[in-house]
Structures are given as structure tokens and as C-alpha cells.
Chains A and B, each alone.
Chain A
Amino acid sequence: MTESTYRIQGATGEWEVVIGLEVHAQVTSNAKLFSGAATAFGAEPNTQVSLIDAAMPGMLPVPNRECIRQAVRTGMAIDAQINKWSRFDRKNYFYADLPQGYQISQLYHPIVGEGAIDIVLDEKNPQASTKRIGVERIHVEQDAGKLMHDQHPTSSYVDLNRSGVALMEIVSKPDMRSPAEAGAYLSKLRTILRYVGSCDGNMDQGSMRADVNVSVRRPGEEFGTRTETKNVNSVRFVMAVVEHEANRQVDVLEAGGKIVQETRLYDPDRNETRSMRSKEDAHDYRYFPDPDLLPLELDDAFLEACRQSLPELPDAKRARYEGALGLSAYNAATLTADADTARWFEALLAEGARIQKKSEGEVAKASANWLLSELYGALNRIGKSLEDSPVSPEEGAELLALVADGTISGTIAKQVFEIMLETGDKPGKIVEEKGLKQTSDTGAIEAAVAKVLADNGDKVEQYRGGKEALFGFFVGQTMKAMQGKANPQVVNELVKKALAG
């Protein structure tokens, strides 16, 4: 565990930043929280709306079991207390995107209680830089619709497609102390949600957005007054908001002013936050238990089924990659940071172990290195992601197996990989057709070595005179003469033998 040393240097001394995040994550589900309407992103306006979502007279909400299940699984993934008894409350306010005139949420009795998320601040040194961020609660609630102001010169239109979509509000404790910690927390939370499958984590589509609570104080003193910046939709922006808002607050305080508890908006174009409304004109939401809904009671069988359905989570996976698979801390972190990457890696690993008849641990390092350097490099170059990689895990494993069993050298493997990317052919076929199999034919290699030595008599003299660094030169020349297809180990041995002779 680690203590943050991040401080803002003010004119009057050091300030510490205190950050809490309320993250709204859209629950992955085909239907809305209380209606059967679909939830597809980007659909034509008002095509994903049921009578319930439009709050027609006499319509009633019925909780969607899948949304509840996903919230429970999410709670379990952060080791949180799952409340077997929870209840929905109405948050009352008028707005055109809120058809019912209230949002159904959970103020008094949330479905998930306290939990925690461990963040790592330096991936190369995880043990020394881990910090535990408390999660206060997770509750489920309805999303609102969307106003469209650009459709008509004098009126606004309402799109209710999002109205009633299930959100999880994940509320952290004020445990973060720097922009980096806030960023790491949000990234880690996103990773966990994507592992669990309870939210797709697409921040650019609004599936995940954060309300950022920031205050400043003299180190060790009581919490200061906080501001809340609403609907920040990327990790980078969250970090920017913290930094900007903390500095703004320090400026206000050092100028003798007071921080007003208020809601602010972030303008990414100008990288600043602006006041939206102060506490004084905050709504009185008149929360009360929704009388249309019975309390939510979860039984043990349901909870057990939720638990059984959880995948291996990022922290456990990372520990296993480091421990059982023997990967470096950095590689383990990189491979587990995203559920899709880990899934790809594990497919590569499983196939590699199968065709090489080795344990996963034995093929892990080569697999990780190839994925993180060769494959990632290539994908970066051609602007593709792992999901639409032109090379499958099976083909990657085949390529690695050809290197492992000495059929081709590492150098040749790079060439084969390039051809795979271009043609989509299988590595075995490429090696076969292009005649790239490396040779261990000692006769041919000996002949090549003899010719290299004969052609470079002066360098042989120098080597024998003690300039041993020239060894690599002879190996390289031999490989070149063999068009790269010679087994490097055999070349090494034969060059050494010839030079000694």
C-alpha cells in the first residue's frame, strides 16, 4: 500500500487533493431496467421506447432480473457486501427528458454496499504502488432520455431511447489523492466491469461516465468543501478535471475566498470547469420509496448462481500470470488490463501448449512477448485492434511452435508473420511454399562457414589475436550466406569450432 505524495504548490504552501468518483455505468442488458424495451445504441430516436418508458397513464415498472443480476455480479467482483434486501426510491424532479417526473433509483437501501478496488500506480512495480480505494455503494437506477436542440429553430425535441435504461451508480469513497489515482481507479473499474460483462465500458458512447468530486485541504487537515463536476466521459478528462478543479480551488482559497458546494460542468475544448448550479438552487428531490415496486429480496440460490458465473477477475489473473506463468509484472499487467486482451492471450496460450505438447507455463513467455511486441506492433501499424486482428490466436500459436521446434529461426518468423498479415495464409503453408525452413544440415553450414572464414582472413587473424567481439560478425555472415535459414545454434557451434581450428 502506498501514500500519495501529490501536492499542489500554492503561494501559501502545499495543498492535498481529495477525490471521490460517482461512476454511472450502463448495465449490459437487452432490455431496460423496468420495461421490455430494447437498448440498442444509436437507434433512430424514439424507436426503443415502451409505454412504460414514455410514462403513459397507468403504466407500471417491473424490475428486469438481468439488470439486477449484473449489479450483484459487479458487487461481487469488487468484494462488496451484497444486500439481500434493497428497495427502489423515487427521485422527483421535472425535466423534459424524464417522462415519469421522477427517476427510479435507490437512495436509502442500495443493492450493493461497501467494497474496494485496488489500483496500481506503477505497473512495473505493482507491489510498491498498490492502493486500495473504497467503494461506498452500488445502486441501480433509470437513465433519462435526451433532448435534441438542433432539430427545430424554436423547439427542442426529446428522444426517449435511453429513458429507463439501467445504470449502476458506483460511488467511491473520497480515497483518491491525485489525478493519477483518479485515472487509475476509473481505468481499473472499467477493466472490472468489462471482465464481469456488466457494462461494455464504452465511454465515448456514454455507457460509462463519471461525476468527479474534488476538494482540497492542507495535508492532514479536515476535508474541504467539495464541488461535483458532472458527466465526465473519459479517463483523460477525469484527470484533467481533477487537476484543473483542484488548482482553481487553491487559487480561490489562497485569494481569501471560499469554495461553494456546487455542481460544475467540464468543457473539454477549453479544459475548464464552469458552475452549473449551487447548493442553494439545488432540487429538493423528495425521495420516497416507490410504491409501485416491492422491496427487492435476493435468495441464496440467486446469489450463488451470480457468484458461479463470475470469470477470473483481473487481480487474480494478473497474479496467476506472474506466478504460475512466470511473466514479468509489466507484461502480466498489460495482458490483464483488458478482458479482450487476456482472452486472446489465453487462446494463444492454450493452442500453443496443445500443439507443442508443453505446459502453458512453458510457452507463456514466448507467447506474451510475441503478442505484446510483434502482434501489437503490427496492429498499431495497420491501425487495427486485437478484436479485428487479421491473425488468429491459433495461427499465432502455430507460428510460435515453428520457432520453438527449430523449424524456423526468430528472424525468419518475423518474415513469415509479415506474409501472414498480408496474405492471411497459415504460417506452416508460408514456410513450406517459400522454402523458409531452417537447416541444421551441418555439411552445408560448414561449407558456408569455411567460405566466410576464407573470405575474411584479416578478421580471422584479428579474432585469433584476441578481438573476440568479431564472433558475431562471422555468425552474421554465415547466416546471411544461408539466407537466414540456418539453425542459429548450429551456426554458433560450427563458427566457434572453425575459428578454434
Chain B
Amino acid sequence: MTNLTDLTVAEIRDGFRAGDFSAREVAEGFNANVAAAKALNAFIVETPEKALEAADAADKAKAAGETLGALAGVPIGMKDLFCTQGVQTTAASHMLEGFVPTYESTVSGKLWAAGAGMLGKLNLDQFAMGSSNETSYYGNVISPWRRGGGDNAALAPGGSSGGSSSAISARLCPAATGTDTGGSIRQPAAFTGISGIKPTYGRCSRWGIVAFASSLDQAGPMARTVRDNAILLEVMSGFDPKDSTSLDLAVPQWEANLSSDLKGKKVGIPKEYRPDGLNEEISAMWDRGIAWLKDAGAEVVEVSLPHTKYALPTYYIIAPAEASSNLARYDGVRYGQRDLPDGAGLQDMYAATRAAGFGPEVKRRIMIGTYVLSAGFYDAYYTQAQKVRALIARDFEQAFEKCDLLLTPTAPSASFALGEKQADPLAMYLNDVFTVPASLAGLPAMAVPGGLDSAGLPIGLQIIGKALDEQTVLNAALAIEERSGFTARPDKWW
């Protein structure tokens, strides 16, 4: 009999509907995998009972002949940045340890309403700040992947959605939610050989997601196949009057319109994404990707995104600026941690609470953000960064006059060992160099696996689309998926 935990979301959905297995069997299978994978530290909270509850509801609904939700019978993992009613939500920080929301985020609520069950709350970089999942208060997430040749170094699953990527590639869940501020869905997906899409800014409501940088934060799905991403994204998207930046647009039928035929499509290759010294294996993978898209019928053109080199510094001004303000609410007054030394006044309580509650990377970004917004520096940093952000968005607009989508690497390297880049924040920030521009421009972008490097680690490709054109992004990713024949999976060692 097939191992149910090897199935994709689409296979679980369809097999459950066809009566090949019950939802409960699926949930039990994944619950068992989650329970046996403590070594990966992918979950902060496990909720096997929630997964079973949803599964039983799906089985009952099916038995009664009721209409089934789009995700009936499918258990998923929930990044611990989404507020979940009655289940601890921490953003992987000590600050929110023990915080149990009385409300459900819009996106997670939509998933549950579609019949999905929750396997648990997935670990992440603290407040989604990080690219290796090493900033979590609850410990590093370990990638299930290892380099070949007996190198047992623990590798980074990417970040910030590292719990999601690790859990999916280790078959602890068939899909999970992620959030992406500068690459937090795409880079972890690339590091672990799975797919993930950050939709157009505004597609998914931000309501109930612990905020990092409001103008950049965007939820999206992560899964092993392009189709699974389309299925989840359809459920997660949609207008939410509770989020002023939510797009008031109908949700397209992405899954039904999946097609890997790219005839008539032009693929732009941005020359600025191939800097001197680009990792050769990444470069070779990019070339393979170009060939696959040509094979799918697309025409390839070179384009220029001249302000690309300013994207990273721009991002590391805007994102910390917004974060420094968004995280001001964690002050020990109303919820979460409170450190109140003897005889302390209000200011002392703030200082003690925030000193103890935030990790070093969060503090670093709050300080950077506070600095760039402060009197005398605001124009030089924040105002300037906003201008550059507009130029970066214009770069994309001009490029999209010549093409329909862009193909680039997702990350400058395959996964690295935990601890390898910890000492150098700038080296860590460079991980986002290919993902940040699309975030600044609010464009849909997707990571899809391409193959393994010489060390046996996954490397991936990124597709960036026009605003609102997730369909073309998904279709191009599907064309790559079909041609790469990527079936590699990590050998179980955990």
C-alpha cells in the first residue's frame, strides 16, 4: 500500500474523495511522522488532535454526502506567525511565549473553513527575521537534507519559513503556510527542494499575521508541487475588508488553468542577476531552466533591471523601519512577556521586557529601523529608500513591456551549515539578493526546484511575474517541474 504521507495535496484530496483512504488515516500518518521528527525541531507546538478533528469532520461530511471543502481531508502545517484561536502563537519569540490568541487569522481561517486540519505550529526565524531559521527562541530548525559523502553537518532549512520547508521536505506535512517579506517562502523552498509562491502583495489578507514589515509581508503556500501550491493559494487568497491593503479582486481559478504550454510567452532574463562570482552550479542551473522554458514553447529575451544592486540596501532600510514600529506593541503591558524588576517604573519595565523578550537579530533590526527613521537621518535613509523602491518597481514595469515573466535563481547558493553565517549578518542578508526585488515591487514570485548540486543539495529557480499574474508564474513553474524530473528527497536520518 502507498505511504499516505508521500502523497501530494492533490493526491490526498482526490484519493480521499474517491474513497481510497479515509481522512483519519491520512492525519494519523502525518501525526506519526511529526511525532517521530523531533530532531528536526520543525514544530513549536504540535496539534495532532486538531488534525484528527478536521479529518473526522471530513470523513463524516463525506459519509453524509455533504459538499466537501477544497482541502477536505488534507492536514497542513501552520507557520507560527499566523494567529490561531486557542493555540499558542509565538512568532518564535520569547516575547509571545504563552500567548494564546482569542482570534483566528484570516488566512488560517480560510484554510480551516476549506476543511484543512492543523498538524501544528511551525518554527520560524524570530518575528520572521532571518534566512536560516537560526533566530528562533525555540531553537534552530534542522534541514532534513545532508550533504553527500558522510558530511553530517546540520544544514539550514532556509528562513524565515524554515519550519515549513523542513517539515514539507521531510514529509511531516504535505503543505504548509509561509510568509514572505524578502524571500521567506522562496529561499527556504529552494534550500529544501520544494515549491512555494509569494503572491502579488494584497492577494492574501495580513489580518491576524504577526507583522514584520507591513508593506512587504505576504502570506503564501509551500508544498512539493506546483499544483499543490495553486490549490492552497486559491483557498488562502481573497479580499478581506479587515486589511486596508487587501486587493478587492476575485480569486482566479489557478489550479483549473494550470498549463505548462508556454507558446507565445516571453521569458526575460535579467542580466543584473548574473553578477561576477555567481556560484557556478547556480549559474548552470539557471541555464538549464532557460532551456526548459524554451522547450515549453517560450521565447527568451534578455532584460535589464538596472536598480537591482540597490534592492538589498533598500530592503534593509524599509523592512527594519517598519519592523521597529510594528514591534513597539510588545511592551509587556497587555500580553506576552513582562519583566518587572523590583521597584521598576514604566520605562524600566519596557527596557527589561524588550531586552529579555527579543532575540539579537530582532534587536538589531529594531535598532536599524529606529535609526533610519530618526530625526536628521529620515530623509537620507527612509525617504531615499522609498525613492529607490519606486525605481525598482519601475525597472520591473519596463522589463515587463518586453516579456511576460522573469526567470532567475532563487538563492545565491544551496543550503549552508547552521552556524556558518551566524557571525556575519551581511553575508546572511545576501541570501535574499534575488528574492528581495520582487518583494519591494509587490510582484508574484515562485521558487521551484531544479535539481541537486554536486553536494547532493537542492537548488532552485525563481519565476517572477507581472502583478496579479500568478497564473503565468504557476504555469512556468509547472513547465520546469515537468522537465526537471526532480524527485529527490532527503534520506531519513531523524
Contact = CB atoms under 8 A, between A and B. Distances in A.
Interface in B60-111: 82-83, 89, 91, 96, 99, 101-103, 105
B321 to A, nearest CB: 6
Contact of A60 (B99, B244, B373): B244
Interface string A140-172: 000000000000000010100000000000000
Given A96-B333, A291-B215, A294-B244, A60 B101 contact: no
Given A284-B375, A294-B244, A58 B83 contact: yes
A62 interface: yes
Nearest to B245: A294
A237 interface: no
A99 B334 CA distance: 8
A339 B89 CA distance: 52
Chain B CB within 10 A, most for which of A54, A57, A60, A284: A57
A405 B336 CA distance: 77
A59 interface: yes
A292 B244 contact: yes
Nearest to B346: A96
Contact of A57 (B210, B324, B331): B210
A51 B207 CA distance: 11
A291 B214 contact: yes
A51 B105 CA distance: 12
Contacts of A284: 374-375
A311 B25 CA distance: 69
Contact of B334 (A54, A58, A62, A288): A54
A92 interface: yes
B96 A92 contact: no
A102 B329 CA distance: 8
Nearest to A102: B325
A102 B328 CA distance: 8
B242 to A, nearest CB: 6
Contacts of A286: 324-325, 370, 373-375, 378
B302 interface: no
A156 B349 CA distance: 13
Interface string A43-62: 00000000100111111111
Contacts of A57: 83, 89, 91, 96, 99, 101, 210-211, 329, 335
A403 B209 CA distance: 72
Contacts of B207: 58-60
A94 interface: yes
A90 interface: yes
Nearest to A154: B343
A293 B244 contact: yes
Contacts of B328: 92, 94, 100-102
A109 B99 CA distance: 37
Contacts of B82: 58
A55 B331 CA distance: 11
A87 to B, nearest CB: 12
A452 to B, nearest CB: 83
Interface in A46-94: 51, 54-63, 90, 92, 94
A376 B84 CA distance: 61
B425 interface: no
A58 B378 contact: no
A140 B329 CA distance: 21
Contacts of A96: 331, 333, 346
A58 B208 contact: yes
A393 to B, nearest CB: 44
B331 A94 contact: yes
Contacts of B333: 96, 99, 158
A291 B329 contact: no
A94 B346 CA distance: 10
Given A100-B328, A102-B328, A60 B242 contact: yes
Contacts of A288: 321, 325, 373, 378, 382
A58 B329 contact: no
B131 to A, nearest CB: 22
Interface residues of B, number: 44
A477 B467 CA distance: 96
Contact of A58 (B211, B213, B370): B211
Among A60, A63, A158, A284: residue with most chain B CB under 10 A: A60
A95 B346 CA distance: 8
Nearest to B202: A294
A445 to B, nearest CB: 78
Contacts of A156: 346
B134 interface: no
Interface in B373-387: 373-375, 378, 382
B243 A60 contact: yes
A446 B280 CA distance: 127
Contacts of A101: 325, 327-329, 331
A96 B105 CA distance: 26
Contacts of B244: 60-63, 292-294
Nearest to B215: A291
Interface string A261-293: 000000000000000000000001011100111
A63 B327 CA distance: 21
Contacts of B213: 291
Contacts of B370: 286
A402 to B, nearest CB: 59
B322 interface: yes
Most buried by A among B83, B215, B331: B331
Given A102-B328, A292-B245, A92 B210 contact: no
Nearest to B347: A94
A348 to B, nearest CB: 46
Contacts of A54: 334
B242 A62 contact: yes
A68 B218 CA distance: 28
Contact of B241 (A56, A62, A92, A291): A62
A100 B369 CA distance: 16
B434 interface: no
B186 interface: no
Interface in B209-225: 209-211, 213-215
Contact of A55 (B321, B329, B378): B329
Contacts of B245: 292-294
Interface in B294-341: 321-322, 324-325, 327-329, 331, 333-335
B206 interface: yes
Most chain B C-beta atoms within 10 Å of own C-beta, residue among A55, A58, A62, A158: A58
Given A94-B331, A288-B382, A56 B325 contact: no
Interface string A99-142: 11110000000000000000000000000000000000000000
A343 B330 CA distance: 50
Interface string A395-419: 0000000000000000000000000
Given A55-B334, A58-B210, A294-B244, A100 B215 contact: no
Nearest to A283: B375
A102 B370 CA distance: 13
A156 B331 CA distance: 15
Contacts of B215: 291
A294 to B, nearest CB: 6
B336 to A, nearest CB: 8
B191 interface: no
Interface string B363-404: 000000010011100100010000000000000000000000
B358 interface: no
B137 interface: no
A2 to B, nearest CB: 40
Contacts of A58: 82-83, 101, 105, 206-211
The 6 closest A-B CB pairs, nearest first, are A101-B328, A291-B214, A286-B373, A291-B215, A55-B329, A58-B208
Given A92-B373, A102-B328, A286-B374, 10 more contacts: A54-B334, A55-B329, A56-B334, A57-B89, A57-B101, A60-B207, A95-B346, A99-B334, A158-B333, A288-B321
11 contacts: A56-B101, A58-B211, A60-B244, A92-B325, A96-B346, A102-B328, A286-B370, A286-B374, A286-B378, A288-B378, A293-B245
